[in-house]
Amino acid sequence: MSRIVVGADMSQSSSIGNESKGGAAFLEMVLRQVKEAVEITNAGDDVYEVLRVPKRTLTVSIPVRMDNGEVKVFMGYRVQHNNARGPYKGGIRYHPNVDLDEVVALAMLMTYKCAVVDLPYGGAKGGVACNPKVLSKSELERLTRRYTYMIYDIIGPYVDIPAPDVYTDAQVMAWIMDTYSQLKGYLTPEVVTGKPVYLGGSEGREEATGFGTALGAREAVKHLGLNMSNLTIAIQGYGNVGYYAAKYLAEWGGKIVAASDSKGGIYKPDGINVSALLEYKKKTGSVVGFPGSKTITNEELLGLNVDILIPAALERAINKDNADSIKAKIISEGANGPTTPEADKILREKEVFIVPDVLANAGGVTTSYFEWVQNLKREKWSRSEVLSKLENKLVAAFKDTLAYTKRFEVDMRSAALCLAVDRVGLALKTLGVWP
């Protein structure tokens, strides 16, 4: 008889326990921000009462036959926060530290991110507590298909459309699509987004988030009356988002002078060739040691005398300990939650113009929406068409958010949340409570 192991290995169980406290603190922070936005906009206690809890929370135990014959049981979640503006939309993450509070908070943020960009979606999020780095491809496939089977009843093209997130990718989305389609009895590509292009994925999806982050910085430059050709830029986190943000900002005339990854950073005041740096990182595994550059730390990068800072790496990278050292005039947040509330206050006092993550990295979910529309219509749009539509959407969202800063005399982060609460609140009030 095979041995059954619950919750993967002990290291994962320990991590999950530690993260629970972090997830609770994250959820508390999101609820506090939403409460403030409700009070600023005078949306009403009824709206907050609905928004403070998700509409549906599903917790599943996922038994998986491992390659060695053992059965391990992983915990999985799918949280659907609110669907007043349309079907639930949100990614699925595979990470040892996934816990329910974290998934609830992320589902809430997806509701507001979709509302800020005016997408006809509500917010959702999913996750499985596992360490994908130690799982084989076949184990990942079995885990994904079993998880999909267990959430099958609450997802669907007009109900809840998952997407990739931390440590999930186009391959995982293909498995979800196939499993759902097999259960449904016909091919249903519109059930997920972020698929391979040849299986119904959208052109332009790979670069969408970084492109959106660059657009946020560009619009901030215009708003402040600056000239992009005279501006210097530092990129913290030279991954997919950081690279594409750097690529577009350089094309628009900016000078990339610093970049970093988890192993360290580089500084090159005369400018960095972004494509050459990407190739160097692919070959060596890091940006560190790039020819002609000076090696610096991630902390030193944050404090450089640059005009634009793109945090595209970790959550809470900008905190109360380093915020005062930041000299950038503009921050466009490519990562989720890179700035803590304490740091936010310090940066506001320094009059740093911040394009918040809920707006700056919304390019991904916006292009996911375009993919969904293409799938529903069985159409295929060109890359240029996708990026043109994406630019129009994000520039409009930036202008809408900026208008709220003036209307309520708040910063961009508060304005974005106020805009989202207004839009979701209006939908809730119009629909009413039934039955």
Among all residues, which ones are annotated catalytic?
125
The conformational region for residue 124 under phi > 0 = left, psi -120 to 50 = alpha, else beta, is beta
* Sign of the Cα pseudo-torsion (309, 33, 394, 91, in order): positive
Q: How far is CA 365 from the centre of its chain?
A: 8
Cβ contact 161:88 at 8 Å: yes
User: What whole-number distance in Å separates Cα of residue 36 and Cα of residue 416?
Assistant: 12
User: What whole-number distance in Å separates Cα of residue 50 and Cα of residue 46?
Assistant: 6
* Sign of the Cα pseudo-torsion (395, 318, 336, 110, in order): negative
Which pair of structure tokens corresponds to residue 91?
């990614």
Comparing CA positions, the residue from 203, 282, 172, 271 lying closest to residue 238 is 282
* Sign of the Cα pseudo-torsion (161, 389, 120, 128, in order): positive
Say if strands 160-164 and 88-95 run parallel, antiparallel, or are unpaired. Answer: parallel
